[in-house]
């Protein structure tokens, strides 16, 4: 393990920052230059509409976008005008460009550099992110030491981060440094590790470019660089992709940790307790295999249980083995029709068949080292569109669980509860009928849950404004429905527990 200072030339970085600011190299400004339609096309991997929109423009933002975002070469004179403080020579020294020596001088990007706007637990913000050139710019399969930029998984994980200050935090497998940057908005001290020195060099540049301090970069595999250390928070988008262990199958550093099957995530979960402070939280993305006769989500839950951790695991997607193979082969830049495509599919399917794998699940793991014994073991499948504020929602739901988990039913009835502000009620009636046929409680943010509610539960939830205890509300509803209060309480309390744990009801301040 090697500790890195993450030092880059501060004068060059300052000059680059100045030029990007002056050019208004922001998400909003670039979108205004090429339009919403071209922006959507870029997300699909099609740069043609954006290229056409920028053709002929010598505005600095347009030149920089053609160079660094679209991966097109530009005239050296245009690049120099767009980077007047840094200059082309300075950009080359930072490893961002190279200059063609044949014909009229042209500048070609050697790194991707683009603005990134976000909303995390610390609020809205915008950074510039450097990474390796993607398939759009290279036009072929990616090298195995490719350093990924900000993708959908990165955005998902940063949106899941729990709010609130932390003393120490660990970003395991930092890549371009994006999660360490988000963690630095909350934690006093962040350690970021990666097995790739190239990734750490790029992370150091991103930290410096965005003026982020308090992050220590360390080189090494998984937990090796932090042996014997514990943290309040651990965050990781680990190299969890299931890859056949064959010499003819590329192993990409950013996604392949070298384990067989889903062993990488299972191993990480097993080691987490040794690196978390009591009460410390870990948030990971991961895969789990469905094997003959074995449920994958329960398999993942078993990893956490075996490690003595509180766990809340959400499965967002399940792919059959063929779809899984196709997804990750294409992710590496190999397309159907290429000579190596079908042999790679065969290798993946052979690997799955050897272990009896029928499908692979993907999702989020929220894990906690309990102060005493575990109290939370929750696994669920959610395939609905997600709302905003997932991190705060998770924090609210976890706090709700902690507030009620050790309470018996009688003690729970003495609580004062409040309906979360994003919860609405929808009633459906058959034509001409007085009473609703269906009542649905909907959550507007977070996981956007939908709960079918009976008349009694809907009435109880509707009265939860923090003024009356749950016991008093149940008694009042029981009187209206002409049923026994004890009988109704026995029916309602388990449903209320689930609504509190799901964040649809919260415990009022003071009880």
Q: Which domains does the chain have, with CATH numbers?
A: 2-110 (no CATH), 116-388 (3.40.50.150), 401-507 (3.90.930)
What would you report as the CA-atom Rg of the chain, rounded to the nearest whole angstrom?
A: 26
Q: For residue range 298-315, list pLDDT tens digits in order.
A: 999 999 999 999 999 999
Q: What is the 3-state secondary structure (H, E, C) of 308-363?
A: CCEEEEEEEEEEEHHHHHHHHHHHCCCCCCCCCHHHHHHHHHHHHHHCCEEEEEEE
Question: Which phi and psi angles does 165 have, rounded to 5°?
Answer: -70, 155
- Residue 148 contacts residue 156 (beta carbons within 8 Å): no
Helix, coil or strand: residue 304: helix
State the pairing for strand pair 310-320/106-109: unpaired
Half-sphere exposure of 176 (CA within 13 A, CB side): 23
CB-CB neighbours of 494 under 10 Å: 11
Single out the residue of 119, 232, 127 nearest to residue 176, CA to CA: 127
- Residue 255 contacts residue 220 (beta carbons within 8 Å): no
CB-CB neighbours of 308 under 10 Å: 12
Tell me the two tokens of residue 64: 């920089």
pLDDT of residue 7: 60
Distance, in Å, from the CA atom of 361 to the CA atom of 377, rounded to the nearest integer, reads: 18
- Residue 438 contacts residue 412 (beta carbons within 8 Å): no
Q: Which residues of the chain have pLDDT under 50?
A: 1-3
- Residue 244 contacts residue 350 (beta carbons within 8 Å): yes
pLDDT of residue 253: 84
Q: For residue range 490-499, list pLDDT tens digits in order.
A: 999 999 999 9
Single out the residue of 444, 439, 427 nearest to residue 385, CA to CA: 444
- Residue 301 contacts residue 295 (beta carbons within 8 Å): no
In terms of residues, how long is the chain? Answer: 511
- Residue 422 contacts residue 387 (beta carbons within 8 Å): yes
Single out the residue of 72, 291, 274 nearest to residue 170, CA to CA: 274
Tell me the two tokens of residue 411: 């003690």
- Residue 158 contacts residue 124 (beta carbons within 8 Å): no
Single out the residue of 172, 168, 203 nearest to residue 184, CA to CA: 168
Tell me the two tokens of residue 264: 């990488």
Secondary structure (DSSP) of 145-207: T----S-HHHHHHHHHPPPS-EEEEEEES-TTSHHHHHHTTTEEEEEEEES-HHHHHHHHHHH
pLDDT of residue 511: 62
Distance, in Å, from the CA atom of 376 to the CA atom of 368, rounded to the nearest integer, reads: 9
pLDDT of residue 34: 96
Distance, in Å, from the CA atom of 465 to the CA atom of 231, rounded to the nearest integer, reads: 38
∠ Cα 298 327 96 (to 5°)? 115
């Amino acid at each position: 393990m090697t500790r890195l200072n993450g030092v880059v030339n501060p004068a060059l970085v300052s000059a680059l920052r100045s030029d990007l600011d002056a050019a208004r190299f922001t998400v909003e400004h670039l979108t205004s230059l090429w339009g919403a339609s071209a922006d959507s096309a870029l997300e699909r991997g099609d740069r043609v509409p954006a290229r056409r929109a920028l053709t002929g423009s010598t505005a600095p933002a347009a030149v920089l976008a053609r160079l660094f975002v679209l991966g097109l070469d530009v005239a050296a004179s245009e690049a120099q005008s767009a980077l007047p403080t840094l200059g082309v020579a300075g950009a080359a020294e930072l490893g961002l460009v190279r200059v063609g020596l044949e014909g009229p001088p042209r500048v070609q990007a050697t790194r991707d550099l683009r603005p990134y706007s976000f909303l995390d637990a610390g609020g809205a913000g915008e950074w510039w992110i450097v990474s390796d050139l993607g398939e759009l710019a290279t036009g072929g399969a990616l090298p195995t030491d490719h350093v990924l930029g900000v993708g959908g998984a990165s955005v998902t994980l940063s949106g899941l981060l729990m709010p609130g200050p932390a003393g120490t935090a660990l970003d395991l497998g930092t890549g371009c440094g994006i999660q360490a940057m988000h963690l630095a908005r909350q934690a006093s001290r962040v350690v970021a590790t990666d097995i790739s020195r190239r990734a750490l060099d790029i992370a150091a540049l991103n930290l410096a470019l965005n003026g982020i301090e308090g992050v220590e970069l360390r080189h090494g595999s998984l937990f090796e660089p932090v042996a014997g250390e514990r943290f309040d928070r651990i965050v990781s988008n680990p190299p969890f992709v299931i890859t056949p262990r064959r010499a003819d199958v590329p192993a990409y550093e950013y996604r392949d940790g070298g384990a067989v099957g889903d062993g990488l995530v299972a191993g990480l979960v097993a080691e987490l307790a040794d690196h978390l402070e009591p009460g410390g939280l870990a948030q990971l993305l991961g895969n789990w295999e469905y094997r003959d006769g074995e449920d994958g989500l329960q398999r993942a839950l078993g990893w956490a249980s075996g490690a003595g951790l509180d766990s809340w695991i959400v499965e967002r997607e399940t792919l059959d083995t063929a779809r899984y193979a196709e997804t990750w082969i294409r992710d590496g830049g190999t397309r159907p029709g290429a000579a190596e495509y079908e042999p790679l599919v065969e290798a993946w399917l052979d690997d799955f068949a050897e272990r009896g794998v029928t499908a692979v699940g993907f999702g989020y793991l929220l894990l906690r080292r309990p102060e005493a014994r575990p109290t939370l073991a929750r696994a669920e499948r959610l395939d609905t569109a997600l709302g905003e504020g997932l991190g705060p929602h998770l924090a609210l739901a976890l706090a709700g669980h902690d507030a009620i988990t050790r309470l018996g039913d009688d003690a729970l009835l003495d609580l004062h509860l409040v309906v979360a502000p994003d919860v609405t009620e929808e009633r459906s009636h058959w034509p001409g009928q007085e009473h609703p046929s269906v009542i649905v409680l909907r959550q507007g943010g977070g996981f956007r849950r939908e709960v079918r509610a009976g008349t009694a539960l809907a009435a109880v939830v509707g009265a939860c404004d923090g003024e009356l205890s749950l016991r008093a509300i149940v008694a009042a509803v029981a009187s209206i429905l002409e049923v026994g209060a004890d009988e109704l309480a026995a029916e309602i309390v388990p449903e209320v527990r689930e609504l509190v744990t799901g964040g649809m009801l919260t415990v009022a301040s003071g009880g």
